[in-house]
């Protein structure tokens, strides 16, 4: 058993690894001044031995928690066989993993990438490819090349990914970006309709917006996006990189709707922490691809694919989708009680184990206080506290979370910064009624 000492947070100068990081890393992240060294289940430990309950899971990655014995065993076994072989040859696990993903998603074919952004980027390429006709000049934009993305979206940091990501801070410093992208107000059917015509080749959105503050797509919006894309011969691309692969208590968030997208993007938890993403596509999309049109050196190697097969097998055998639903109900009940106690909680949103707690004061100090209390959560969009715990959490850990979180809500100094703007993706406060 690990020691559970709750020691004070290290000062930056005390650990040479921190000064190395400060001196030699590109300054792309604002990191906390301590070093996490290892994890076990739903807990992470820092170099002083301090224990943290991890309700962020490496931002939706560690769905089986840390050091899951079955995952460790497969990684050890496969590392001793072949870590990498090359996509010029078959390996033992890529085909079986593609079959399993097709079975659980209802899609037809799979391309493996290394990350979510790379999957999103590939999907945008596929959309352009599918829309291209013989009458399009090969060196000019095709007649059908526009892409509709959503306000409040996040799809990753590649050029394609940032081009369809809404916040200007991620996008504008790198302009000019992918041409032909327009943003629609999320869940606003009239806005979607007004921007739609035959020049659109794809609509891309997160089935539940994650970085944007946990905003689920409405059924009406999904249905209209599906009917418009079908009518105009465009692709509907569902980004399930954060909300997919079991996080909602279903394998895919879109499975509560009656129709499927043409492309689904997944990544984060797929290989239980190893880098692996995928584009799941319909047969119609697949029919436009041929050898050489798209590729990757690392994507879909034997080590990551074997690990992903084990991840999906653990979910099945341990009935983790049921656990996600049961723990979610307990969490929501506890959060609703906290919302009636703390009036700065405006709304609780999300489904399964992707939950957002919107506050009317600056949310960032809550995440900092949570760390002091030995709890990992994060704050996204300044006003939404985000919970992405592992699928293996127990009822006792939900109770532990609620106890720690109440302490955090009570102790955090509240700074009255501007309240979040209200728009279609961020409606005025209503009862704590978001879908489960």
Ligand X SMILES: Cc1ncc(COP(=O)(O)O)c(C=O)c1O
| Backbone φ and ψ of 121, nearest 5° | -60, -45
Instruction: Pick the closer one to ligand X by CB: 242 or 248.
Output: 242
DSSP for 218-277, please give it.
Answer: PHHHHHHHHHHHHHHT-EEEEE-TTTTTTTTSSSSGGGGSSS--SEEEE-TTTBBTB--E
Q: Whole-number minimum distance, CB 335 to ligand X, in Å?
A: 22
Residues 295, 121: Cα–Cα separation, whole Å: 12
Among residues 421, 255, 168, which one has the least CA distance to residue 183?
Answer: 168
Q: Whole-number minimum distance, CB 208 to ligand X, in Å?
A: 9
Instruction: Pick the closer one to ligand X by CB: 185 or 318.
Output: 185
Within 10 A of 234 (CB to CB), how many other CB atoms are there?
A: 26
Q: Is 391 exposed, middle or buried (0-12, 13-18, 19+ CB in 10 A)?
A: buried
Q: Whole-number minimum distance, CB 192 to ligand X, in Å?
A: 19
Instruction: Pick the closer one to ligand X by CB: 107 or 150.
Output: 150
Q: Whole-number minimum distance, CB 215 to ligand X, in Å?
A: 12
Nearest-Å Rg of the Cα atoms of the chain is 22
Instruction: Pick the closer one to ligand X by CB: 303 or 339.
Output: 303
Instruction: Pick the closer one to ligand X by CB: 39 or 213.
Output: 213
Q: Whole-number minimum distance, CB 11 to ligand X, in Å?
A: 30
Is residue 425 within 8 Å of residue 152, measured between CB atoms?
Answer: yes
Residues near ligand X (CB under 6 A) = 59, 115-117, 120, 154-156, 206, 210-211, 239, 241-242, 267
Q: Where are the alpha helices (DSSP H) in 290-394?
A: 302-317, 320-341, 364-372
Q: Whole-number minimum distance, CB 277 to ligand X, in Å?
A: 6
Instruction: Pick the closer one to ligand X by CB: 121 or 347.
Output: 121
Instruction: Pick the closer one to ligand X by CB: 119 or 309.
Output: 119
CA dist list (Å): 361 to 142, 213, 421: 47, 15, 12
Q: Whole-number minimum distance, CB 9 to ligand X, in Å?
A: 26
Q: End-to-end alpha-carbon separation of the chain, Å?
A: 35
């Amino acid at each position: 058993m690990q020691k559970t000492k709750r020691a004070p947070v290290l000062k930056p100068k005390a650990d040479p690894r921190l000064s190395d990081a400060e001196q030699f890393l590109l300054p792309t992240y604002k990191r906390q001044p301590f070093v996490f060294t290892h994890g076990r289940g739903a807990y992470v430990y820092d170099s002083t031995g301090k224990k943290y309950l991890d309700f962020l899971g490496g931002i939706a990655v560690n769905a089986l928690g840390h050091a899951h014995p079955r995952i460790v065993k497969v990684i050890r076994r496969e590392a001793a066989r072949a870590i990498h072989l090359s996509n010029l040859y078959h390996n033992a696990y890529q085909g079986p993993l593609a079959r399993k993903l097709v079975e659980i998603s209802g899609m037809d074919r799979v391309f493996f990438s290394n990350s979510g952004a790379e999957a999103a980027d590939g999907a945008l390429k596929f959309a352009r490819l599918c829309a291209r006709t013989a009458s399009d000049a090969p060196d000019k934009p095709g007649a059908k090349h526009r892409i509709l993305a959503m306000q409040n979206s996040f799809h990753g940091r590649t050029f394609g990914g940032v081009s369809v990501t809404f916040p200007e801070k991620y996008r504008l410093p790198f302009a000019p970006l992918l041409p032909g992208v327009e943003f629609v107000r999320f869940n606003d059917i009239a806005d979607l309709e007004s921007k739609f015509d035959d020049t659109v080749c794809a609509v891309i959105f997160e089935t539940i917006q994650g970085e944007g503050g946990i905003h689920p797509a409405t059924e009406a919006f999904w249905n209209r996006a599906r009917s418009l894309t079908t009518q105009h011969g465009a692709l509907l691309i569902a980004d399930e990189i954060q909300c997919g692969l079991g996080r909602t208590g279903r394998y895919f968030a879109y499975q509560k709707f009656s129709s499927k997208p043409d492309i689904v993007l997944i990544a984060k938890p797929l290989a239980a922490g190893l880098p692996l993403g995928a584009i799941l596509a319909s047969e119609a999309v697949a029919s436009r691809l041929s050898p050489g049109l798209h590729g990757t050196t690392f994507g879909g190697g034997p080590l990551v694919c074997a690990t992903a097969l084990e991840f999906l097998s653990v979910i099945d055998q341990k009935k983790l989708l049921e656990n996600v639903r049961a723990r979610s109900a307990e969490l929501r009940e506890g959060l609703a009680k906290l919302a009636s106690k703390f009036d700065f909680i405006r709304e609780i949103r999300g489904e399964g184990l992707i939950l957002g707690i919107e506050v009317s004061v600056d949310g960032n100090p809550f995440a900092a206080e949570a760390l002091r209390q030995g709890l990992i959560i994060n704050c996204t969009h300044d006003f939404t506290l985000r919970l992405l715990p592992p699928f293996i959490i127990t009822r006792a850990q939900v109770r532990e979370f609620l106890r720690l979180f109440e302490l955090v809500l009570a102790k955090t100094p509240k700074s009255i910064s501007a309240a979040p703007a209200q728009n279609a993706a961020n409606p005025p406060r209503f009862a704590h009624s978001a879908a489960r």
